[in-house]
Amino acid sequence: MTHHTDTDGHKQFYIATANLLNFANPGRIYYDNAPAYDNEAYQHKLNGITGLLAKAHADIIAVQEVWDSDALEALAISLGFKAEHVVIPLASNDSASPYTQGQGAQETPAVGIISRFEQLESSLLEEIADKAIIDIPDIGPYHRFNRPPLLLRVNAFGQPITIITAHLKSKRPYFLRDSEGNLLEDMDDPNIRVRAKLRSLCMRAAEAASIRMSIIQRLQHNREPLILLGDMNDVTGSVTTQLMTETGEVNYDKSMRDVALFDAARIQGRYGWMKDVAYTHIYQGMPEVIDQLFVSEEFLPDSKFSLGHVERVDYFNDHLKWDYADRVTDHGIIRAKIKLHS
């Protein structure tokens, strides 16, 4: 598969995000209470994800919920990429890895990026920024990301672009446990349940604020584009997602454009997205968009600093209607087609 270039010389690429729902090597336990994949289940999962992602034919794919780099490399190869196009430090199966000693992700799955473009720089956002640290009820200051976001700077047709993928803390209640993992709270007490959800919200808020500060640092007085995408575990208009993007601030202060991010679906050239039922996840029976893709002002068509534009955004979500046993992931895939000015 080659780079997507138009006959009229347009430089363009597709970028997608996909939560792969506990994608792990066969035979390895990733959660104590979940069975390992046998070879057949692993192959079913690999083939299924390949089938879904092949339709998106993306040049850059951000992924979440991956436990092993070997599994992600197998997926990349089955999609026509090379193993070296995979970046996923926290799920490494290389014994020389300082993070994993080759054991893959531990305790929680990792985020990664597959990119056919040259990699210029990559880093993990591990520490919560000082100004974003808050006290989590009954736990104390939240210093580190639960699942560190990955930043990868790539060279797309000579244009450096920074990609950040994140998988924020879920809305699931966070109950207190001892060092052995035993519950310390009564999960059936409704007031405790609310407090446990409050903890999750505080964690997600701190993570969102910290990502925001990293983005500001990258974008301020700088004309290099940035794309933020991943599983944000809340809807586009939510407080935590808007904390990361600050899209709304632009309405009051035009100078905020320099550091704000814009929902790719809202600014796409082909503004037909209203007729598509856009959703990427079904939460308690209700469809919602929690997998998102945001771009900096360099991809706004009407910006004086525009370097390209989002031509279209597509949601691949038909598999969410399949029977549970047939679903290889419980998230839809969102993909944007971005055209750079020649």
Q: What is the CA radius of gyration of the chain?
A: 20
Burial 283-308 (b: 16+ CB within 10 A, else e): eeeeebbbbbbbbbbbbbeeeeeebb
The reported pLDDT for the residue numbered 330 is 75
Q: Report whether 52 contacts 318 (CB < 8 A).
A: no
Distance CA 85, CA 89 (A): 13
Check: CB of residue 167 under 8 Å from CB of residue 158.
Answer: no
Report d(CA 176, CA 195) in Å as an integer.
10
Q: pLDDT tens for the chain, 342 residues: list them.
A: 455 554 456 799 999 999 999 999 999 999 988 999 999 999 999 999 999 899 999 999 999 999 999 999 999 999 999 999 999 999 999 999 999 999 999 999 999 999 999 999 999 999 999 999 999 999 999 999 999 999 999 999 999 999 999 999 988 999 999 988 899 999 999 999 999 999 999 999 999 999 999 999 999 888 999 999 999 988 888 899 899 988 888 777 878 888 989 887 777 766 555 445 565 665 555 556 667 899 999 999 888 899 999 998 888 776 666 565 666 777 788 899 999 997
Report DSSP state, residue 273: G
3-state SS assignment for residue 105? coil
Nearest-angstrom CA–CA distance, 290 and 230: 8
CA dist 231 and 207 (Å) reads 13
**pLDDT computed for residue 288 by the predictor:** 64
- pLDDT value of residue 332: 81
Q: Which residue shows structure tokens 């997507």?
A: 4
pLDDT score recorded for residue 319: 65
Q: Find out whether 60 and 163 touch, Cβ atoms under 8 Å.
A: yes
Contact 26, 37 (CB under 8 A): yes
> According to the model, what pLDDT value does residue 275 have?
46
What pLDDT does residue 325 have?
63
What pLDDT shows up at residue 246?
87
Task: Copy the structure tokens of residue 211.
Answer: 């990502």
- Structure-token pair, residue 253: 């202060």
3-class DSSP assignment, residue 307: coil
Task: Tally DSSP H helices, then E strands, for the chain.
Answer: 5, 16
CB atoms < 10 A from the CB of 217, how many? 11
Q: How many residues does the chain have?
A: 342
Residue 7 pLDDT: 47
Concatenated DSSP letters for 50-72? HHHHHTT--SEEEEEEE--HHHH
**Stretch (H or E) spanning 219:** helix 190-219
Q: Please tell me the distance from the alpha carbon of residue 225 to that of residue 102, in angstroms, as a whole number.
A: 33
Question: H or E stretch including 202?
Answer: helix 190-219
Determine the Cα–Cα distance for residues 290 and 36; give it in Å rounded to an integer.
27
Nearest to 295 by CA among 265, 263, 337: 263
Identify the helix (H) or strand (E) that includes residue 43. Answer: helix 39-54
